C-alpha cells in the first residue's frame, strides 16, 4: 500500500511543516497498527466438523430446533434433525456441542463498498469511484483492500460475504462478490464481474438537502436535463447492443464490458428510487434489450410492485433505518417496505449503502430485525439477507442457506442474530475454514474493560 501527500496553493511556515509531519506520522502509525491487527486468513478445512444440537435457521423459512450439521472439505454434507438420525462413531473428526445456540447461513451484504474505502478524510484510501460518466469496464474487485480493518468488524455480526460495488457517474462499473476472508481478492472472489451498475437520471431533484437551519427539505424541482440524459443513455445502450451483435474491427473496452447484459451473463443493477423513475427505467431498459435487471434502492418500489412482479425484477431495498422521503408518508414506511414487497410477491433483499456505509454494514442484520418487527416473520427477515440475496446475486447454488452440497459458510450465535441485544457470534466458517473473529474494536473493548476492572 502506498501513500502520497500532495499540498498545493499553500505557503506553510517552517514550524507548521513539523506539525504536519508529526500529524502524518501519527496517522500512518495508527493505520499500520490497525493493519497489523487484521486477523490472519484461515487455512483450508482439513478436518471434518459436526455441529450438534443447535437451532438451525436454514434460510429458506425452515428451522430445525435440534440439528446436526456436518461439513467436510468446505461443503455441507449433512443437515438433519439430530433426534431422527444415527451417526457412526468417529464419522467426523471434530464434534462441537452447540446446544441452545443458533446456526445461520453467512449473511450477505449487497451493494457494498467494504474494502474500497478505509478513511473518509484520506483521499488515498477511497477507491470506490472513477472519473468519467460511463465506466462499465471498471472492475471494483481489483481495488479491494484485503488488509482493510473494517471487514473483520462486520464479520463478528455474521456478515461473511459482500458484493463489492463501485460508485459515481452514470455507469459506475462492474461489481463482484467476495468472501470476507483471504490473502487477496483472487483468494476471496466467489463470483467476479456479476453485474454492471447504472445510476438512473433523476426526474426531479433538490438544489440542497435541507435549508440553512436544517429544518425542512426544500421542494423537489424538475430536472430540465432529464430527457437529454436519457438520450445519452439510449445512444450508449444502442451502441453497446450493436457492438454485441456485430463483430468489431477494434476492441472497445467500455462496449465490451456491456456484452453480458444482453445475454443474461451479467445483471444490470439500476440504482433508482422514485416510482416514475422506476417505471421509466424498466420500460427503457426492456426496449434496450437488457435481459436481467435489479432495482437498487427502490424507495417507491411498493408503488410499482405489480410492474416489478410482472417483469420478474427483484429489489435491493436500501437501508430501512431511515426517514421517509416525503412529508406526507407514514413515518414507519421505510420499516415496513420489505413487508409491502413480500405481500406483493416481489423478490427482495436488504442492502445498507449510505453514510459511513462500510462500518455501518455491521448493522445489516439489525435492519432485518426491524423488518421482522414491522410485518415479516423472523425467517422471512432472515431470508432477506441470506437466500433472497443469494438468489438476486445469482450465487444461491453455493450459499444463502444451510443445505447439503452448498458451501459451509455459516456461523453460530449464542442469541438471535437479528437482535442487536443478543447477537453474539462465537464461531464462523467460510467454506469450512474456521475464522479468527478478533478485530481492533474487540481488542479495545477488552483493553478498557480490563483497565476499569470490569473484566
pLDDT tens digit sequence for 361-403: 999 999 999 999 999 999 999 999 999 999 999 999 999 999 9
- The pLDDT tens digits of the residues spanning 111-150 come to 999 999 888 777 778 888 888 999 999 999 999 999 999 9
Quote the pLDDT of residue 32: 44
Q: 355 burial class (0-12, 13-18, 19+ CB within 10 angstroms)?
A: exposed
Does the pLDDT of residue 36 top 90, yes or no? no
Averaged confidence pLDDT in the chain = 89
Residue 286, pLDDT score: 95
Per-residue pLDDT band for 88 (boundaries 50, 70, 90) equals confident
Q: What is the pLDDT of residue 125?
A: 81
Residue 10: what pLDDT?
37
Instruction: Please give the DSSP secondary-structure letter assigned to residue 333.
Output: H
Reading the block at residue 423, the C-alpha cell is: 447477537
Q: What percent of the chain has pLDDT over 90?
A: 75
Q: Point out the least confidently predicted range of 187-196, 320-329, 405-414, 417-426.
A: 320-329
Q: 3-state class of 86 per DSSP?
A: coil
The pLDDT of residue 281: 97
Residue 130, by phi and psi: left (phi above 0), alpha (psi -120 to 50) or beta? Answer: beta
DSSP-based three-state secondary structure for 66: strand
CA 174 to chain centre: 14
First to last CA, the chain: 37
Q: Which residues contact 66 (CB under 8 A, 6 or more apart)?
A: 53, 55, 81, 82, 83
The domain 108-398: what is its CATH number? 3.20.20.140
Does 152 score more than 80 pLDDT?
Answer: yes
**Which CATH number applies to 39-106+400-455?**
2.30.40.10
The percentage of residues in the chain with a pLDDT greater than 70, rounded to a whole number, is 89
- In the prediction, which pLDDT does 11 show? 38
Confidence at residue 213, expressed as pLDDT on a 0 to 100 scale: 55
Tell me the average pLDDT across 318-328. 91
Burial class of residue 427 in the structure, from the number of CB atoms within 10 Å of its CB (0-12 exposed, 13-18 middle, 19+ buried): middle
pLDDT of amino acid 326: 86
Residue 6 has pLDDT above 60, yes or no: no
Alpha helices by DSSP H, listed for 192-299, are: 226-245, 253-257, 275-288
Provide mean pLDDT across the span 48-65: 97
Backbone phi, psi, residue 142, to 5°: -70, -15
Contact 316, 367 (CB under 8 A): no
Q: What is the structure's pLDDT at 209?
A: 58
What distance in Å separates the CA atoms of residue 401 and residue 57, rounded to the nearest whole number? 8
Determine the distance from the C-alpha atom of residue 176 to the mean position of all C-alpha atoms in its chain, rounded to a whole number.
Answer: 10
For the chain, give every domain's residue range: 39-106+400-455, 108-398
Q: Which residues contact 287 (CB under 8 A, 6 or more apart)?
A: none
Sign of torsion, CA 258 260 266 271?
positive
Amino acid at each position: 500500500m502506498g501513500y502520497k501527500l500532495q499540498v498545493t496553493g499553500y505557503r506553510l511556515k517552517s514550524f507548521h511543516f513539523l506539525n504536519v509531519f508529526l500529524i502524518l506520522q501519527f496517522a500512518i502509525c495508527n493505520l499500520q497498527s490497525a493493519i497489523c491487527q487484521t486477523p490472519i486468513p484461515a487455512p483450508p478445512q482439513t478436518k471434518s466438523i459436526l455441529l450438534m444440537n443447535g437451532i438451525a435457521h436454514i434460510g429458506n423459512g425452515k428451522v430445525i430446533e435440534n440439528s446436526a450439521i456436518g461439513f467436510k472439505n468446505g461443503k455441507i454434507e449433512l443437515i438433519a434433525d439430530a433426534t431422527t438420525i444415527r451417526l457412526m462413531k468417529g464419522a467426523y473428526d471434530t464434534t462441537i456441542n452447540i446446544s441452545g445456540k443458533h446456526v445461520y447461513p453467512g449473511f450477505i451484504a449487497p451493494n457494498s463498498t467494504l474494502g474500497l474505502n478505509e478513511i473518509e478524510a484520506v483521499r488515498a484510501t477511497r477507491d470506490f469511484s472513477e472519473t468519467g460518466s460511463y465506466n462499465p469496464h471498471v472492475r471494483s474487485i481489483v481495488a479491494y483492500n484485503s488488509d482493510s480493518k473494517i471487514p473483520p468488524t462486520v464479520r463478528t455480526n455474521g456478515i461473511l460475504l459482500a458484493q463489492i460495488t463501485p460508485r459515481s457517474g452514470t455507469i459506475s462499473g462492474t461489481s463482484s462478490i467476495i468472501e470476507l476472508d483471504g490473502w487477496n481478492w483472487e483468494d476471496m472472489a466467489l463470483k467476479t464481474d456479476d453485474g454492471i451498475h447504472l445510476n438512473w437520471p433523476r426526474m426531479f431533484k433538490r438544489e440542497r438537502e435541507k435549508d440553512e437551519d436544517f429544518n425542512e427539505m426544500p421542494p423537489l424541482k424538475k430536472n430540465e436535463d432529464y430527457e437529454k440524459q436519457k438520450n445519452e443513455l439510449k445512444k450508449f445502450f444502442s451502441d453497446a447492443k450493436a457492438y454485441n451483435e456485430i463483430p468489431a474491427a477494434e476492441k472497445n473496452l467500455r462496449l465490451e464490458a456491456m456484452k453480458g447484459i444482453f445475454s443474461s451473463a451479467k445483471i444490470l443493477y439500476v440504482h433508482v428510487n422514485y416510482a416514475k423513475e422506476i417505471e421509466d427505467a424498466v420500460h427503457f431498459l426492456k426496449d434496450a434489450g437488457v435481459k436481467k435487471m435489479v432495482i437498487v434502492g427502490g424507495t417507491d418500489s411498493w408503488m410499482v410492485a405489480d410492474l416489478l412482479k410482472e417483469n420478474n425484477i427483484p429489489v435491493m431495498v436500501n437501508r430501512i433505518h431511515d426517514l421517509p422521503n416525503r412529508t406526507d408518508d407514514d413515518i414507519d414506511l421505510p420499516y415496513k417496505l420489505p413487508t409491502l414487497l413480500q405481500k406483493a410477491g416481489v423478490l427482495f433483499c436488504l442492502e445498507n449503502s449510505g453514510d459511513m456505509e462500510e462500518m455501518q454494514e455491521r448493522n445489516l442484520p439489525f435492519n432485518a430485525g426491524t423488518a421482522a418487527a414491522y410485518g415479516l416473520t423472523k425467517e422471512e427477515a432472515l431470508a432477506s439477507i441470506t437466500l433472497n440475496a443469494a438468489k438476486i446475486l445469482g450465487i444461491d447454488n453455493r450459499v444463502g442457506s444451510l443445505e447439503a452440497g452448498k458451501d459451509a459458510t455459516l456461523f453460530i450465535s449464542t442469541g438471535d442474530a437479528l437482535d442487536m441485544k443478543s447477537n453474539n457470534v462465537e464461531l464462523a466458517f467460510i467454506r469450512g475454514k474456521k475464522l479468527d473473529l478478533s478485530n481492533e474494536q474487540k481488542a479495545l473493548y477488552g483493553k478498557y474493560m480490563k483497565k476499569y476492572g470490569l473484566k
